[in-house]
Chains A and B, each alone.
Chain A
Amino acid sequence: KQEVTQIPAALSVPEGENLVLNCSFTDSAIYNLQWFRQDPGKGLTSLLLIQSSQREQTSGRLNASLDKSSGRSTLYIAASQPGDSATYLCAVRVQGAQKLVFGQGTRLTINP
């Protein structure tokens, strides 16, 4: 059974800092891994999608890496801004299945 873990559960940093969020999964047989952002009381916004054959994806100040063999992914946020404050979720799509398995999320607070 695939399990996804995110560390830390919460993170608070000053504005302008670079930061890394971690995601690990137990079964390396995945189609892809997706990072989402969730604002309080809202749905999910897809940030980055990494296919199992890829090592990283970049979008603006965000960079996501994937090491499938070790079951790890990181989300790097450069030059953080208060508007980046949200909960960040990673999810993997297991091979042979349509559904995503989610981690518990990291609640990020960027202090002005």
Chain B
Amino acid sequence: GAVVSQHPSWVICKSGTSVKIECRSLDFQATTMFWYRQFPKQSLMLMATSNEGSKATYEQGVEKDKFLINHASLTLSTLTVTSAHPEDSSFYICSARIEGPKRNSPLHFGNGTRLTVT
């Protein structure tokens, strides 16, 4: 089945530093990937839609200069949390959908990245 790999699974960084999270589709091409954020015991909130070869589309209230998204190939999207602060500590999850005729195919998720900013 479709596999989405996310790396790292957890990261601890100091306040003010930047952290990059990678999301890869291992056995399919993904023109579009999605980045979600999840706070403890809460649901997933979409942050942005990552489009291969073009700018990401950010949801209202998400700072695009803080959460940099790069979708350089059909199998890789990266999320960089710049100048991280403790309030950025959260669980970040990426997802992707198999492209092609199956427009309504299921969304597949990575295992998430637990970011802790000290």
Contact = CB atoms under 8 A, between A and B. Distances in A.
Interface stretch (B11-19, B70-78, B109-117): B109-117
Interface in B27-49: 32, 34, 42-46, 49
Interface size class of A (residues with CB under 8 A): 20 to 34
B108 interface: yes
A98 to B, nearest CB: 6
Nearest to B4: A43
A41 B34 CA distance: 19
B104 interface: yes
B49 A99 contact: yes
Contact of B104 (A31, A45, A102, A105): A31
Nearest to B34: A99
Given A31-B104, A36-B109, A100-B107, A44 B43 contact: no
Contacts of B103: 31
Interface of B: 4, 6, 32, 34, 42-46, 49, 91, 93, 95, 97, 103-112, 114
Interface of A: 31-32, 34, 36, 41-46, 49, 51, 89, 91, 93, 98-105
